[in-house]
Chain A
Amino acid sequence: MKNILKSTLALLSVLVAFTSCNNASKSNSGALSSSAAEKVYVAPGEHDEFYAFISGGFSGQLSVYGLPSGRLFKVIPVFSQDAEKAYGYNEETKPMLNTSHGFVPWDDSHHPDISQTNGEIDGRWIFINGNNTPRIAKIDLSTFETTEIIEVPNSAGNHSSSFVTENSEYVVAGTRFSIPIPQKDMPIKDYKGNFKGALSFISIDPEHGHMDIKFQLIMPGFDYDLSHPGRGKSHGWFFFTTYNTEEASTLMEVNASQNDKDFIAAVNWKKIEEYVNNGGGTMMPANYAHNVYDEATHSATSTMKKEVRVVNPLDVPGAVYFLPTPKSPHGCDVDPTGEYIVGNGKLSANLTVHSFTKMLAAIENNKVAGDAYGIPILNFEDVLAGVVEQPGLGPLHTEFDGKGNAYTTFFISSEVVKWKLGTWEVVDRQPCYYSVGHLMIPGGNSQKPWGKYVVAMNKITKDRYLPTGPEVTQSAQLYDISGEKMELLLDFPTIGEPHYAAGCPADLIKPRSKKLFKLEDNKHPYAALSEADTKVVRDGKTVHVYMTTIRSHFAPDNIEGVKVGDKVYFHVTNLEQDYDVPHGVSMIGANTSELLIMPGQTETFLWEPKQVGVWPFYCTDFCSALHQEMQGYVRVSPANANTPLKWSLGEDIE
């Protein structure tokens, strides 16, 4: 018995020894990771080399990170109300969230893409799609604010969006869910042949970036999943992956996964543009919102548009072809030369790559295998450039480093795989923690990627960080791809659920980033550009307060003569003209958010006093040494009172 105990102890100690050996080898990798730490270390006061714009998914927003540090700088409100910045709460930005369904204060933001000139990222604007209530937003990268949102009619599940052509001619939005066009009351079971999918080409004004739907291509009722523009030699074409070519409408996970091959739709948009410019297509009644924010008035306006131009692909012969692509492809990615079109067949063990040159040759020689609703289908073999054999399971998305390599995410096998274009050989693979969705190389959707880092956006986090209850943060991972092998450098948490990202060198954006708004350029109709302009004006039961802020007081800060039942609009102008001196304002009981007003800007909140009394307001942003003193009072009298309307600063109201 003693012997057994002894030998057990001996065995245990051996095991412990092995375990500690194991620990020792782990700490070796710790020494390695210290070099990784150096690679992501950005010293205090230093700036990151790259901006990364990572979508917020169900948060509806767009986050701004620095690479390689993984530090979060800003969450730009786009499709969701943001009380912090009063976006969607103040009177100026409420119109931004207007749609044909009324005020929709949330969306599912997916695929940010930066504007381009000559196939290279120019850093002027970034576009992002709202997936749920189809919308495309434009964010101005001089202010990092959402300045335009256009609703996309005839669309549902705005997913194969919002990708920009190489001279920012168009931002493209394709529908994931096909629907009756126009919408009508009909049985769901009659989907097949009756539902349609709209691919929208939204023109971008070269100067202001204003968006306008040039045309919608009304395609067969498949699910258009993702897309990318041709570039270089394939500029003028656009490629969309499809699934559910079965046209199922129920138990989709099974019924939409039956066909061995779905399609990549190749659209010659230049040809359709020419057709439309010559009066082609038909104007169809529609109802969609176009919301534009004006930097001069610091205000948005919403206009309902009443028609849209639709194009039947059969009316433009040679404009649309289907390329058979295995297994419900997700990402549809075009390499920097424009030759290779990667179809990431998400249920496939292989990766299919089509050749643009071979596609043109097949079209030239009229090698058509059949048609789908009259749209020609090319032969799989005729357009195939090559197959990456057995690279992993569940390919989703591919980006390129500009040095002849491609990087593909594999959701099911949870890894990033590096492979070579042309030889289709796998070079390296690195695990992701866990189940990676999309990835991003700065400049990925362009002719000029900066192939230094890849960011993997993972769908599952589990144990990677300190736990925070059942709901844990989503996670991104940064890999160094400057060498032959990839090296994992950093995990960092992300907001919402990132679906896609765009990045570029900081130098493209940093020099143009605004520090403040010039007061002399402020054209807000209710701005008070100096304390002498402040006043309180009654118009029936509506009261307009023209208020200013400057360190460290409001003008006026005493107001009397407001009555229960009034609608009181506080129009607050920040008179500061210094970098990073915003002021905030909030009113007790206001059924809205605070305002956070940048220097030179005017914002408005509505307060409907319901109780008699003297009610305080205060500055919500720690603006200065006397911030705590930055406060004021409004006297609210009964609805039938005769208290005269008066206001003051620095003296008592007589």
Chain B
Amino acid sequence: MLIAALLPLGLFFFPLWKITLEAPQYPTPLGMYIHINDFSDVHPHDIKNINLMNHYVGMKYIPEAIPEFKIFPIGIIITTVIGLLIAFKGNYKWFLFWFILMIVLSSAGLYDFYLWEHDYGHDLDPKAIMKFTNPDGSVMGFQPPLFGSKDILNFKAHSYPRLGAFFLGLGIAASFVAYLFGKKQNKIPS
């Protein structure tokens, strides 16, 4: 359980997610890492160049900072502290509590990320240089996928978790394993 509680701290060292944009004229694709407290370039100036591409269809610039960058790190630290307390003091049933807490919070984080992506891809400048519509006549959005790959005009966008997310996932899984282990051990004497 100790390991489970500490693993999510990997998020402070490794990116959570990566979005990659491929296009014919970008032999080296454009890419952006999402950390729990920052956006960063995969290659120098990538975010600037993604913004330059996106302004043609009226998308907003990727902000320097979003409120989540303050909330997420605090959330991770609090859950780690809770996890550590449980690891030292709590019994195995609390491991399950922590597991469920983390699943809920991570899902909330992912949903929040989805909302941001949706807004980023759909809240377009009405004076956009190029306006595209879907076959049904609605305004075309440019939301990158939450997970997976998707064609957006001349770009192919890929969105996949990175090492930080794996640390988080591993930590959550480890807490569940710890719970099962604890449950088994608890049963032996009885």
Contacts and interface: CB of A to CB of B under 8 A. Distances in A.
A423 B130 CA distance: 74
Contacts of A551: 52
Contacts of B129: 626
B29 to A, nearest CB: 13
A502 interface: no
B56 A577 contact: no
16 contacts: A550-B52, A551-B52, A576-B52, A577-B44, A577-B45, A577-B48, A577-B49, A578-B45, A578-B48, A578-B49, A578-B52, A579-B28, A625-B56, A625-B130, A626-B56, A626-B129
Interface string A577-597: 111000000000000000000
A16 B37 CA distance: 85
Interface of B: 28, 44-45, 48-49, 52, 56, 129-130
Describe B's contact surface by its main secondary structure: mixed
Given A577-B45, A625-B56, 11 more contacts: A550-B52, A551-B52, A576-B52, A577-B48, A577-B49, A578-B45, A578-B48, A578-B49, A579-B28, A625-B130, A626-B56
Interface magnitude class on chain A: under 10
Interface string A614-654: 00000000000110000000000000000000000000000
A578 B28 CA distance: 11
A517 to B, nearest CB: 12
A374 B45 CA distance: 65
A554 to B, nearest CB: 15
A550 B48 CA distance: 11
Nearest to B49: A578
Nearest to A516: B45
A386 to B, nearest CB: 53
Nearest to A575: B48
Nearest to B44: A577
A550 B53 CA distance: 11
B54 to A, nearest CB: 11
A576 B48 CA distance: 9
Contacts of B45: 577-578
Contacts of A625: 56, 130
A626 B55 CA distance: 12
B16 to A, nearest CB: 25
Contacts of B28: 579
Nearest to B46: A578
A450 to B, nearest CB: 28
Interface in A240-271: none
The 10 closest A-B pairs by CB, nearest first: A577-B45, A578-B49, A551-B52, A577-B48, A626-B129, A578-B45, A625-B56, A550-B52, A577-B49, A577-B44
B110 to A, nearest CB: 31
A625 B153 CA distance: 14
A576 B45 CA distance: 9
A61 B48 CA distance: 36
A578 B56 CA distance: 16
